Structure 1
Amino acid sequence: MGAPDREPGLQEVEELLSTAVTLLRPYLDAARPSAEAAAPESVLGEAPDAPAGGDERPMVEIRCFGGFRVTVGGTAVDCGAVRPKARSLLRLLALRAGSPVHRDVLLDALWPDLGHEAGVRNLHVTVSRLRTLLEPGAERGSATLLTRDEHSYGLALGWPCASDVREFDRRSTVCLRPAPGEDPERRIAALRAALRWYGGELLPEEGAAEWVVGERRRLRGRAARLCATLAGCELELGRPDAAAAAAEQALTLDAYLDEAWRALVTARERLGDPAAAERGRRAYARTLRSLGVTPGPDAAVTAGRWWSAPPRP
């Protein structure tokens, strides 16, 4: 009789799981667009909920748009259990989840008035408290979520995970670089799917903190561009009502976005509402004047011809 089969070791199990994920990934990716095809009720909505049930639910969920939330294994992390500085550190790391952040960046952002040594001590203490918060009961040195690599720290998000900022960034980058000959309906679905991840202002809890202001402005501007692009696509398909809604949403995010004003005026004209179109022209003229640009004498006449897509019958 031969020797009994050997139990597989941990490393072998991990390799088998990794191989299985790699083999299944094309099928998962192929199924994803059909689940996203339905348009939301509004242009911008809350970030999609994570898949419910079983192993499909992300182990870590991070939401930075519209208010900060973190769940680990389906359980919400009580961020109120730690001090404000620890909460800010967690938000900063969450914003850059999956990427290491050098300690000097953290010190400049959170302890700018302390000397280097005092700042490093505060950072070590705060990181220790966050590890206890994220993985209560984990033995010293065994935490896996908040990691350290020499002088850098980060939230190590393995698969599966969900980060609304990373997902919005990834999807919006694809949407703003359309493939030649792409089906308009498919692009509209992709634009709406990307916008669903933008759930509002980035980390509003941090106010005007320097480390978040620039990223907040960048992501808001990207959402505005997606809305303006969506408005243009809807105009091309002869849907001025949807185009007007998308253009209006773009202007709530960026009141100076030229293509959104153009799309809005054109959509209102195609809806047979010349008064609303004229109000749009005048509002755009006021916007130009606020920037120190004087509208030309024919601006009100030519505004409706800005959009190049011809009306459909």
Structure 2
Amino acid sequence: MIRAYLADDEEHALNLLELLLGRTGEVEVVGRCGNGLDAFGEIGRLQPDVAFLDIEMPGMNGVELAEKLGSHYPDVQIVFVTAYDRYAISAFERDAVDYLLKPLEMERLLRTVQRVKREVVRLQAALSWIEASEGGDAREKERAPKPQLYVQLLGETQVLIGDRDRLKWRTAKEKELFAYLVVHHGQRIHRDVLLDELWPEENYQKAKVYLHTCVSYLRKDLRQWGVESAVIYEDEKYCLGPDLSGSDYQSLRYALHAARAAEELPSAELAKVLALYTGPLLRDEDYHWAEREVRQLETTMETLRLQLGHLYEQEGAYAQMTETARELLAQSPYNEEAYRLLMRGYAGSGKRDEVFRAYEEMTERLRELSVSPSEVSRRLYRELTETG
């Protein structure tokens, strides 16, 4: 039997919902009240399987209540009850944890109850896994080890679980919210900032429902893998929990910060930093909020690759110098300084024919932009081909 709590400021709405839930034969109503503030305390005390929350309530509305419940009592499933018209509801049906539209319909309520049952069963399975991995003796823990999570934002955006599995996103917005929180690791992001960044065109109340839905998905999906506090909500601000604070992007950022702080960095150490860059940030995504971060990272990587190439030149390591120039050109194909680095590397290796080919390649590439090599590049080419 599913244990349910009801919150709605309209008494007749509470009576009707309780009546219909009773008729399903699968739900026991363990408590009810008319405002969000009292409901929060009661739900914490009663620990129901599901809370049916009216969106519009005085003091604390249903979405705000759901946000608090998600941080303090993540096991409680949420069903929104709303008087929004059908057209508005259809816009977020695919993203909602679940909803009931007033006036209530028995057929729709039955689908909701079945959905809640599936979530409860899945949650119980996850809890059993956690108990098997964390409880009992050392032999039990060895049989059910907690998988290691690896968050990847460079190249493909994904959460890898152990050495085989990956987190499967329920919706594109769940994935985008997760990426936003990882990119802004260390910051507590106000709810309204997230609404503006991820749902800029949506009605404010509707966008809050979207946000809560995505947060709920993240918490449920990650809890199945042993992450208890995936998303933390406090003072209307969100951040990722400590188990998800690291990523390949954050590792690269820390290494870049250390590299900039060092007065002099040997080429070998700088090469290690650059090796952490395994692909463009959020390569396959089109997130408008990430554009500045992506540009800044690309500019930083270009600057450091040039710096590494110059260090190799000082050391007479011409093979590494040309390899670095090629890596830079793969990232920035119209970078004349990278071509000049490439030509000097070939010249240092005694490969004058390659100098010529590199200059011709640069000329063809720049022609795509309707420009010619600069005087600096032309002068360098003459110097390299007329001497030695």
Task: State whether TM-score is above 0.5.
Answer: yes
Q: Match of 1:113?
A: 201
Aligned partners of 2:219 and 2:231 also within 8 Å: yes
| Closer, same or farther: CA 113–98 of 1 in aligned 2, 3 Å | same
2:236 to 151, 162, 166: 151
Aligned partners of 1:227 and 1:250 also within 8 Å: yes
Q: Match of 1:101?
A: 189
Per the alignment, in what secondary structure is the counterpart of residue 272 of structure 1? coil
Aligned partners of 1:278 and 1:300 also within 8 Å: no
User: Which whole-Å CA distance do the structure 2 matches of 1:60 and 1:80 have between them?
Assistant: 13
Post-superposition Cα deviations, 1:213-262, rounded to whole Å, max 9, x if no partner, equal: 33222222222222221111111111101100001101111234343222
User: Which whole-Å CA distance do the structure 2 matches of 1:105 and 1:200 have between them?
Assistant: 28
User: Which whole-Å CA distance do the structure 2 matches of 1:68 and 1:235 have between them?
Assistant: 36
Q: Match of 1:191?
A: 270
Shift of 1:127: 0.7
Alignment of 1:97-246 (within 5 A): 97-136=185-224, 143-157=228-242, 162-179=246-263, 182=264, 187-206=266-285, 208-246=286-324
2:343 to 265, 269, 272: 265
Post-superposition Cα deviations, 1:44-95, rounded to whole Å, max 9, x if no partner, equal: xxxxxxxxxx9xx9965321111123256x4877432512211211122122
Per the alignment, in what secondary structure is the counterpart of residue 224 of structure 2? coil
Aligned partners of 2:231 and 2:240 also within 8 Å: yes
TM-score normalised by length of structure 1: 0.66
Per the alignment, in what secondary structure is the counterpart of residue 147 of structure 1? strand
Per the alignment, in what secondary structure is the counterpart of residue 304 of structure 2? helix
Aligned partners of 1:244 and 1:264 also within 8 Å: yes
User: Which whole-Å CA distance do the structure 1 matches of 2:182 and 2:164 have between them?
Assistant: 14
User: Which whole-Å CA distance do the structure 1 matches of 2:225 and 2:351 have between them?
Assistant: 63
- Report the residue type matching 1:67 in the other structure: E
Post-superposition Cα deviations, 1:203-222, rounded to whole Å, max 9, x if no partner, equal: 2331x321223322222222
Aligned partners of 2:147 and 2:225 also within 8 Å: no
- Report the residue type matching 1:112 in the other structure: P
Aligned partners of 1:103 and 1:152 also within 8 Å: yes
Alignment of 1:300-311 (within 5 A): 300-303=378-381
Aligned partners of 2:153 and 2:282 also within 8 Å: yes
| Closer, same or farther: CA 297–209 of 1 in aligned 2, 3 Å | closer
User: Which whole-Å CA distance do the structure 2 matches of 1:171 and 1:58 have between them?
Assistant: 26
| Closer, same or farther: CA 137–61 of 1 in aligned 2, 3 Å | closer
| Closer, same or farther: CA 171–259 of 1 in aligned 2, 3 Å | farther
Aligned partners of 1:60 and 1:161 also within 8 Å: no
Aligned partners of 2:183 and 2:249 also within 8 Å: yes
Per the alignment, in what secondary structure is the counterpart of residue 284 of structure 2? helix
User: Which whole-Å CA distance do the structure 2 matches of 1:296 and 1:189 have between them?
Assistant: 32
Aligned partners of 1:224 and 1:249 also within 8 Å: no
- Report the residue type matching 1:147 in the other structure: I
- Report the residue type matching 1:267 in the other structure: G
| Closer, same or farther: CA 81–171 of 1 in aligned 2, 3 Å | closer
Post-superposition Cα deviations, 1:139-185, rounded to whole Å, max 9, x if no partner, equal: xxx94231113222111336x96321122122123324541xx4xxx
| Closer, same or farther: CA 296–64 of 1 in aligned 2, 3 Å | closer
Q: Which has more strand, going by share of residues?
A: 2
| Closer, same or farther: CA 75–148 of 1 in aligned 2, 3 Å | farther
Residue segments in structure 1 that go unaligned for 5+ positions in a row: 1-53, 307-313
Q: Match of 1:63?
A: 152
- Report the residue type matching 2:150 in the other structure: E
The structure with the largest alpha-carbon Rg is: 2
Aligned partners of 1:225 and 1:250 also within 8 Å: no
Per the alignment, in what secondary structure is the counterpart of residue 70 of structure 1? strand
| Closer, same or farther: CA 114–299 of 1 in aligned 2, 3 Å | closer
TM-score normalised by length of structure 2: 0.54
- Report the residue type matching 1:162 in the other structure: G
| Closer, same or farther: CA 161–299 of 1 in aligned 2, 3 Å | closer
Aligned partners of 1:69 and 1:76 also within 8 Å: no
Shift of 1:265: 1.2
Shift of 1:119: 0.6
Per the alignment, in what secondary structure is the counterpart of residue 319 of structure 2? helix
Aligned partners of 1:146 and 1:156 also within 8 Å: yes
Shift of 1:268: 0.8
